[in-house]
Structure 1
């Protein structure tokens, strides 16, 4: 734990709340079964409802940080958690037509909470320890999501699907109360720092143009998230087409969580002094290598190799990228920078299924080579930005990194 001594106590307490909330956030796994089962919707109708919910999730991620910069990230997180918790808990009481509105509202609130939570970590943690702090939050969140689905299955089969939503709603409300208790209002809800000119500054686009490496990173993450999330859409269909059943897919996906739980925190400590863009670039290359492994065969060994490489790539790129964007943000726009990253980093939720599904249906043999090539290209672009920063290391810190050691990142 020596590498985490600079992570404030507040972040550890916040992470405890994240863990509990993640354990009971099991409705996302079972919502399609709930809609087609107890609610008796057809497959197309259930797909429409969940698709609209996915759009709400992405929209919430894109806007949560903007609200936080204006009204305070703690305040926004509390309001969004309360809204989302009440909406989820009320699901069993709502008539079916209202679910078309209720699910997007709950997902939108969840996205706002995610962005606000990232911004809270960014403003709570001193520069230089953010990578470790985000690793802590990500690790406990993954641990909760690993425990959640089997617990949710027990609740659904032993009680009813209705209790899934009640439990998820109560867990979200608990997270609001826990955050209100452990995150000091004085620091978290302070007015954001003014721009250097005393006003609103040059806007987010202007700030991004002054940080071209951030723009390259965001573009690369957009591409890779669509590729990464093929594991939840086209990949299970691919396995079924090659004789591997649902249980095999479940075990392979569980491997992702296991690798992350074991290696996320040690990797954050071991690589904390490495330039972030270099680490991210290698991670994206590993994602590409994961899908490339599927070209070596169609059996369980290739699928396991794919998931291990994908998991290692995720460990290397997700936490350092989140911390890098936070470190690069000007003080008056931390929330907006985190919202941009948060929204882009879940864009695959909406884009991956239709794009991957259409390509797999039209040309099954093309999807995995294309995923490998695009991820490699994204990784190469980030490594190019890293090399470019090293060549211009004499630039001011606000352009090249928030720490003296990060100028080369």
Structure 2
């Protein structure tokens, strides 16, 4: 496809590994059923275990890139994949008491893998092709999950939940082997570039962030948006059930999300690659808000479908674009740390979304969807305004869409390929 020719072969191979791993990485969908079923935990205990696991996932996303800047992103991905794979493989044999440690450990490793993988893509791809590269990897993950979720349901029902954990553990170990094979270690130093703090992360990244206020604004907008976005996993199915639509209806609507993303994400990344990134992200967040606003028209199949289509298109616009923007803004010595900050913020809704949405839906169900719509649209409006301000520079200065760092030599834009960090 035109527009993807600049993506290095190593990223295409990484995307293939992500696809295969995503097919078997569906245990998180069934973990609550596993804990309350075969493991015999009560709903409260199962909620505690899954909640701690969510914290582990967020923590792994926040720290994976920091490790990569210190030790090399390839090494971190290999180590985290091995740790997560081994933990998941032996998890079915562990006593129930050890699940309180094993599940969060596996989730922590998963988050670290996610951040390290994003950093590998960022350092391997020139700045102009990063949106397409992240869209390719996201599409691979979504495609694998679309196949894996129904297969996982068949395995859980026909065999046992234990096979799900075993399959994901082996798949994660295979991802480590695949990464070791396709990502070259040659030419990689312990740190991707000389860092003012020696690569140890002793505050240097905060100075870099303060020098890039647009990145801080983006991170704040994504934090708000992710809490809102993830309500379609948590309170939305409860809303449907309260209005007479059962789990089958929710399953079909979620499948629609996967279909829209798979169909449109890659073409959208190519078509919008020259558009100002903050404007694209802002428009995506506004569409997420519009999706929740559609639920104000009533609870039914038509409004649920409209909500999910709008949400999916918004997701397509903002997720890959925001990831690439953060990578383009990162200085060479802090690519991993910038990616970790974005990765952690972009999954914060896993921890914050369920309690916030659940409490509001219980106390004032009529308020949840208007508030979700207002928060997402407001976050998008902030980014749209910021993008418009950046496109009104002084006479003769470059705009946001034309290499924003060209006039400032300090931050690296990624305008040329960098070696993959080992």
- TM-score range with shorter-chain normalisation? over 0.9
Check whether the contact 2:69–2:199 (CA below 8 A) recurs between aligned residues. no
Greater share of residues in helix: 1
Q: How many matched pairs?
A: 404
Question: What's the counterpart of residue 363 of structure 2?
Answer: 362
How many angstroms apart in 2 are the aligned matches of 1:128 and 1:173? 32
How many angstroms apart in 2 are the aligned matches of 1:145 and 1:403? 30
TM-score by length of 1: 0.96
How many angstroms apart in 2 are the aligned matches of 1:19 and 1:402? 28
Check whether the contact 1:124–1:188 (CA below 8 A) recurs between aligned residues. no
Secondary structure in structure 2 of the residue aligned to 1:185: coil
Q: What do residues 114-147 of structure 1 show as CA deviations (whole Å, max 9, x unaligned)?
A: 0000000000111111111000000010001111
Unaligned runs of at least 5 residues, structure 1: 405-409
1:4-403 correspondence to structure 2 within 5 Å: 4-187=4-187, 190-195=190-195, 203-392=204-393, 393-394=397-398, 396-397=407-408, 402=413
CA drift of 1:398 comes to: 5.3
Secondary structure in structure 1 of the residue aligned to 2:289: helix
Secondary structure in structure 2 of the residue aligned to 1:154: helix
Unaligned runs of at least 5 residues, structure 2: 399-404, 416-422
- The worse-fitting range, judged by mean Cα deviation, of 30-39 and 168-177 is 30-39
Check whether the contact 1:213–1:386 (CA below 8 A) recurs between aligned residues. no
How many angstroms apart in 2 are the aligned matches of 1:187 and 1:89? 33
Do the aligned partners of residues 386 and 163 (structure 1) sit closer, same or farther apart at CA in structure 2, a change above 3 Å counting?
same
How many angstroms apart in 2 are the aligned matches of 1:398 and 1:224? 32
Q: What do residues 211-267 of structure 1 show as CA deviations (whole Å, max 9, x unaligned)?
A: 111011000000000000000111001001111111000000110000000000000
How many angstroms apart in 2 are the aligned matches of 1:61 and 1:398? 29
How many angstroms apart in 2 are the aligned matches of 1:44 and 1:197? 44
- The worse-fitting range, judged by mean Cα deviation, of 378-387 and 80-89 is 378-387
Check whether the contact 1:73–1:189 (CA below 8 A) recurs between aligned residues. no
CA drift of 1:389 comes to: 1.6
CA drift of 1:149 comes to: 1.1
Do the aligned partners of residues 398 and 225 (structure 1) sit closer, same or farther apart at CA in structure 2, a change above 3 Å counting?
farther
How many angstroms apart in 1 are the aligned matches of 2:150 and 2:103? 22
Do the aligned partners of residues 252 and 153 (structure 1) sit closer, same or farther apart at CA in structure 2, a change above 3 Å counting?
same
Do the aligned partners of residues 206 and 181 (structure 1) sit closer, same or farther apart at CA in structure 2, a change above 3 Å counting?
same
Q: Which runs of 4+ in 1 moved over 4 A?
A: 187-190, 196-202, 397-401
How many angstroms apart in 2 are the aligned matches of 1:29 and 1:199? 37
CA drift of 1:157 comes to: 1.8
How many angstroms apart in 2 are the aligned matches of 1:243 and 1:398? 59
How many angstroms apart in 2 are the aligned matches of 1:371 and 1:399? 38
Check whether the contact 1:397–1:403 (CA below 8 A) recurs between aligned residues. no
How many angstroms apart in 2 are the aligned matches of 1:121 and 1:303? 35
CA drift of 1:296 comes to: 1.3
CA-based RMSD of the aligned residues comes to 1.7
CA drift of 1:4 comes to: 0.2
How many angstroms apart in 2 are the aligned matches of 1:53 and 1:403? 34
Check whether the contact 2:126–2:414 (CA below 8 A) recurs between aligned residues. no
- The worse-fitting range, judged by mean Cα deviation, of 201-210 and 239-248 is 201-210
How many angstroms apart in 2 are the aligned matches of 1:217 and 1:346? 14
Do the aligned partners of residues 33 and 197 (structure 1) sit closer, same or farther apart at CA in structure 2, a change above 3 Å counting?
closer
How many angstroms apart in 1 are the aligned matches of 2:253 and 2:94? 36
How many angstroms apart in 2 are the aligned matches of 1:347 and 1:341? 10
Do the aligned partners of residues 189 and 114 (structure 1) sit closer, same or farther apart at CA in structure 2, a change above 3 Å counting?
farther
Check whether the contact 2:196–2:204 (CA below 8 A) recurs between aligned residues. no
Do the aligned partners of residues 209 and 153 (structure 1) sit closer, same or farther apart at CA in structure 2, a change above 3 Å counting?
same
